[in-house]
Structure 1
Amino acid sequence: MAYLVAVTADGGLPLFVRARDGSDSLPFSVIASLNGVHMYAEDRGATLKSTTAGGKRVVWRTFHDSLTLIMIDVDETTGTEHHMFNLLDLCFSALVLYLGIGKLSDIRNTDRLKKEMKCAYALLDGLCNFHQSLALNGHVTGLSDVIVGPNTTILQTYLDGFADRLDTNYGCVLIGGKVCAATEKWWQLSCKEAVLLSCLVNSHQFESTVDIPVFLPVASPKLSHRLLVFRFKEDVFICALCGPEHDLQQVENEIIPQYWNPASDCLDFILQDKDRGLPDTVQLDAGILAFIYLCFDLNRSLSSFQIDSKTDPRLPLERRQRVLLQYYLTTQRELISKEGVTGNFALVHPVCESYLCADDYKSYCLLAGKRQLFLLYSHTVPTFALRDVAHQTIQILDKAVA
């Protein structure tokens, strides 16, 4: 994806344009034309949602009759049209997270709004993969990225004590950008809110303690909350949603050392497996190069694109992620449909499994109710073995996330 554009819905005034590094700047005439054709359709009682031409795809969505977001995919790297609409919804929710729904639903001063929107640029760029972070895909799956460590039960005890000390029910620990432990109430946030809060921290990679006012797009779009983010050590962030009772310096200098210094060794053990996403005690088939495991009942996504230290020059880490996410998006479009119609044909039975064989890799998906597994195999794995390995793997991962 190359561009994300925001304009006012009534007058088409540009608010911002975000672009992938190295992309050409988007002229005002192009922005005006894209908004103009959208407004022309609305004036005649039609809704222009998307268009495709010359390998380029454009989608529009208007929010609260106030703000229109336009997404442009110039090289078909974003995925499906459905995914682009989901991204637009997530990007608008990201703006709500920073600014609240009031400033976005009733735009009175566009110059002031432009300045206030700048604080959301880093998060928007992360969601649209303008500055992609390897192995994080919550913005694609809609579920929180998680990591399974060897001592997560112990870590949960430290987190619960820390949250009690701050008089809050909402706290989590992010390791390598993924949730390693979270309070029960944190997991009860909507999927969109949990994903956005994690992405906020990951996109900024704060070097110190920060205190940020945030609006929860679903639970509290009009009333801000206090998000505290503490960088305990490299790749380890401790987050809490709390009230104004505690002074930031007191929390940083007294409460953090009290509860988290004893957990330092535990965190170091988990950090050793942050790229793998699983402890060494969980062993997968040697032919698996990467996996995405979705737990819709738990609102969590467990994934790894670097299961071991082996490298394949034909499938570097970036390509593994791109190939498997594209396979996931294609499967969502072609095989999973609420209307019961997939592609150009109607299914007479639900699809539970699918596979794809390419010259340098093989893919397999296993749809088991509220659990879905997507695997990327080495091309050397026999096709007849894909299914058995997938069923064995989902059982192993079921136990790991339990």
Structure 2
Amino acid sequence: MEESSVFLLCLTATSGVPLYCRSKSSSRQLTFSVIGSLNGVHMFANNQDVLLTSTRTENSRVLWRTFHDSINLIVMSCDMKTSDHSLNKLLENVFSAMVLVIGLEDLMNIKNVERLKKELRACYKLIDSFLTESEKMGDLTQCVDCVIAHDAAILQECLDGFTQAAESEFGCLLTGGKVVVATEKWWRLASQDVMLLCWLVSSLSTHSSRDYPVYLPQGSPTVPHRLLTFQLVPGVDVCILCGPSPSLQKVQSELVERFWKPVLDPIKSCLRVQLRSFPASVPLHHGIQGILLVNRDLNKSLYTVQVHPMEDMQRSDMKCILEQRREALRSFYALAMSRYFHPEHHDGKNTVQYEESFPMGFSHHAHQCYTVSSSNKCYAMKTDLHFLFLLFKTDVPTFSMRAIANKTMQVFTKDFTF
């Protein structure tokens, strides 16, 4: 098997019947005997009152999770650089994706396995998007990937008017699956629900408009809502959550052109900040290669590994370099969150974390940490309202990373408020 291969298995918890198997970076599927062995050892442990959550072999890492005593998810990763933290997030996202598309009721009370298998096919594109590396980090942070646009105030005014005219209070404008602006009520939804909706839209095939039934895993797991999406220009979509009315045709024919045609230029400008996530006018140190800024209060984040896109475009091996940067920043985030930073969010709600055992006896929690390797340097800092994670070039002096991080934090909290 390839070193980067990941296999995801979904089975019924009671009978162990396979529902689907998805994979990444592998031309081969797991054999039925391997699937049976992976599920069998978990069932045997349960029968002995032992909770089996993870294990490692010489060349792979395996995690098990059971949801609502009904669905078993198993992930096997041949990439030993990955962490239990990130794989656990993957399993949570996959089950939530299943709830988003087909609802919790059908997953908790499985009456017809073959019918459920067919229904789950609608989840494949969304699930596969969590298996592949992307230009977003919401799958790991459980926050909403955002961009800072030049004309955010104008776009916000248009969105509020459009959403209200469509008889809804929940709407957002997306570019590349990242939120440009959203209504006040949209931000009040559970952050995982919003993250999943954004990933769903970006994972679906391109259409001028959609009327898609969705369940909100946190807010409404058993009662569906309608997700209406409209492509304003290629790469930019406006989305609203609503009830039985209005009709898709009415919104598209009467409201889309009325509200969005006058702001066509600001809409197109969103595409220019999609990769960097913020305008080129935001000054950042030349040694920074990647940044992840998380607003802990609003559960939204800025993320990019193309901080200086004009410099990067001149390199012929840019695709490989970007993949390495993504892997390095994701690994550092998982390390910092599982080892050093306190798991409690700013709003006081504890979330499931996967801390390693060695810091448990400490009476304090870290507010800054860094790593140094032969290929990069990383630095993270925690404040009352933000997490900041930076990926540096190796030639940046280690002693200067703290000062650069403080200056970067000031840029995004005072000069360009996020």
Q: TM-score range by the shorter chain?
A: over 0.9
- Displacement of 1:55 after TM fit? 3.0
Paired AA for residue 136 in structure 1: K
- Structure 1 residue aligned with 2:321: 316
- Displacement of 1:256 after TM fit? 0.6
Q: Tell me the alpha carbon deviations over residues 6-36 of structure 1, each in whole angstroms, 9 at most, x when there is no partner.
A: 1111110000000114342111111111111
- The equivalences for 1:180-259 within 5 A come to 180-259=180-259
- Structure 1 residue aligned with 2:261: 261
Contact kept in structure 2, 1:123 and 1:203, CA below 8 Å: yes
Say which SS state the counterpart of residue 311 (structure 2) adopts: coil
1:120 aligns with 2:134: no
1:63 aligns with 2:67: yes
Paired AA for residue 165 in structure 1: A
Paired AA for residue 46 in structure 1: V
Q: List, as ranges, runs of 4+ consecutive aligned residues in structure 1 with deviation greater than 6 Å.
A: none
Paired AA for residue 49 in structure 2: G
- Structure 2 residue aligned with 1:178: 178
Question: What is the distance in 1 between the residues matched to 2:276 and 2:397?
Answer: 24
Structure 1 counterpart of 2:31, from 27, 32, 38: 27
Contact kept in structure 2, 1:335 and 1:342, CA below 8 Å: no
1:36 aligns with 2:40: yes
Question: What is the distance in 1 between the residues matched to 2:263 and 2:192?
Answer: 29
- The equivalences for 1:3-402 within 5 A come to 3-77=7-81, 79-129=82-132, 132-133=133-134, 135-308=135-308, 309-311=310-312, 316-337=321-342, 344-345=358-359, 346-399=361-414, 400-402=416-418
Q: What's the TM-score once normalised by structure 2's chain length? A: 0.91
Question: What is the distance in 1 between the residues matched to 2:205 and 2:273?
Answer: 20
Say which SS state the counterpart of residue 316 (structure 1) adopts: helix
Say which SS state the counterpart of residue 273 (structure 2) adopts: coil
- Displacement of 1:121 after TM fit? 0.3
Question: What is the distance in 1 between the residues matched to 2:253 and 2:148?
Answer: 29
Paired AA for residue 363 in structure 1: C
Paired AA for residue 329 in structure 1: A
Question: What is the distance in 2 between the residues matched to 1:29 and 1:323?
Answer: 35
Task: Give the total of aligned pairs.
Answer: 398
Question: What is the distance in 1 between the residues matched to 2:7 and 2:226?
Answer: 31
Q: What's the TM-score once normalised by structure 1's chain length? A: 0.95
Contact kept in structure 1, 2:289 and 2:307, CA below 8 Å: yes
Q: Tell me the alpha carbon deviations over residues 110-129 of structure 1, each in whole angstroms, 9 at most, x when there is no partner.
A: 00000000000000111122
Question: What is the distance in 1 between the residues matched to 2:335 and 2:355?
Answer: 14
Contact kept in structure 1, 2:75 and 2:91, CA below 8 Å: yes
Paired AA for residue 327 in structure 1: F
Shifted more, 342-351 versus 10-19: the winner is 342-351
Question: What is the distance in 2 between the residues matched to 1:102 and 1:401?
Answer: 41
Contact kept in structure 2, 1:340 and 1:347, CA below 8 Å: no
Contact kept in structure 1, 2:60 and 2:78, CA below 8 Å: yes
Paired AA for residue 179 in structure 2: V
Unaligned runs of 5+ in 2: 344-352
Question: What is the distance in 2 between the residues matched to 1:150 and 1:98?
Answer: 34
- Displacement of 1:369 after TM fit? 2.6
Question: What is the distance in 2 between the residues matched to 1:83 and 1:306?
Answer: 22
* Residue identity (%): 37
Superposition RMSD in Å: 1.9
- Structure 1 residues 140 and 212, CA gap change in structure 2 (3 angstroms): same
Shifted more, 193-202 versus 66-75: the winner is 66-75
Paired AA for residue 43 in structure 2: M
Unaligned runs of 5+ in 1: none
- Structure 1 residues 317 and 341, CA gap change in structure 2 (3 angstroms): closer
- Displacement of 1:341 after TM fit? 7.8
